[in-house]
């Protein structure tokens, strides 16, 4: 049984279908990529799955049908997400940003742990930071970090909410090749540690390297799915997204 399953997921904006009958699944412990040209419906898919836009069709998560749930309720169930922009609190330290996320559904708990954090809570948050090589910046403000570090803090903050699955929206946007490779390694570690991931990104080198399985959208419709090797060779993908010059190998475009 898939951890996440969509059935005929459809989103309409002003009479135009931004997403048209998408069937997608993510297994427990799997890193799944969702790719496609600009305007293909990738972010709309994550918004629909996580409850930030109205959608038709079904969304099932952890053996429960959650189509009618609010975004907050879906997050409580363990369905987390990151955003294209880091959306960090620049007046809080990196560690405090994680504390906000870890107590997002309990204001009382957040205030308690912000001013008198428990040893176990701090240990858990520092473990997340250590896993992403962010221990040294735990007490820094986000404004003091590099762009790549801010992206990783965004991932760490999402993990602080203890999700069983993360939807990641363009986490490598704005990163150079070295930073992108590092981020990809960290995302793979997150999955291997037990958190499933649905990843969308324009960095094809990243997506085709680290993902277990891929779905490809074009104009809101699914045009292909398969392993990275199968997607590289699919003529529909080459035509719609990769371009003829990429038919033999992936690029970072």
Element containing residue 97 per DSSP (H, E): helix 94-102
How far apart are the C-alpha atoms of 17 and 13, rounded to whole Å?
A: 6
pLDDT band of residue 86 (cuts 50, 70, 90) is low
Domain coordinates of the chain in residue numbers?
1-78+164-173+193-253, 84-162
pTM, whole model, 2 decimals? 0.86
pLDDT at 177 over 90: no
Over pLDDT 70: what percentage of the chain? 87
User: 146: exposed, middle or buried (C-beta count within 10 Å: 0-12, 13-18, 19+)?
Assistant: exposed
* Residue 218 vs residues 39, 40, 135, 136, 243: alpha-carbon distances, Å: 8, 5, 40, 42, 13
Give mean pLDDT, residues 82-110: 78
CB neighbours (10 Å) of residue 239?
13
pLDDT band of residue 87 (cuts 50, 70, 90) is confident
Where would I find the beta strands (DSSP E) of the chain?
Answer: 4-13, 16-26, 31-35, 56-61, 64-65, 79-81, 165-169, 196-200, 213-218, 221-226
pLDDT in tens, 21-38: 999 999 999 999 999 888
pLDDT at 251 over 70: no
pLDDT band of residue 114 (cuts 50, 70, 90) is low
CATH superfamily of 1-78+164-173+193-253: P-loop containing nucleotide triphosphate hydrolases (3.40.50.300)
């Amino acid at each position: 049984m898939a951890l996440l399953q969509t059935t005929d997921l459809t989103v309409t904006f002003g009479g135009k279908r931004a997403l048209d009958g998408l069937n997608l699944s993510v297994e427990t412990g799997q890193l799944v990529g969702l790719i496609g040209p600009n305007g293909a419906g990738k972010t709309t898919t994550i918004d629909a799955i996580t409850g930030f836009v109205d959608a038709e069709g079904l969304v099932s998560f952890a053996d429960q049908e959650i189509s009618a749930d609010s975004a907050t309720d879906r997050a409580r169930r363990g369905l987390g997400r990151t955003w294209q922009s880091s959306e960090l609190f620049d007046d809080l330290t990196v560690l405090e940003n994680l504390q906000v996320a870890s107590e997002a559904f309990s204001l009382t708990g957040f205030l308690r742990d912000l001013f008198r954090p428990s040893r176990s809570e701090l240990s858990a948050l520092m473990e997340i930071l250590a896993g992403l090589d962010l221990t040294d910046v735990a007490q820094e403000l986000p404004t003091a970090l590099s762009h790549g570090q801010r992206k990783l803090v965004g991932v760490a903050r999402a993990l602080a909410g203890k999700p069983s699955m993360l939807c990641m929206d363009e986490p490598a946007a704005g990163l150079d090749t070295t930073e992108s490779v590092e981020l990809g390694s960290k995302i793979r570690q997150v999955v291997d540690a037990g958190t499933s991931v649905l990843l969308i990104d324009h960095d094809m080198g990243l997506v085709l390297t680290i993902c277990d399985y891929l779905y490809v959208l074009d104009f809101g419709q699914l045009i292909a799915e398969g392993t990275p090797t199968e997607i590289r060779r699919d003529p529909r993908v080459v035509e719609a997204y990769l371009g003829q010059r990429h038919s033999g190998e992936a690029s970072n475009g």
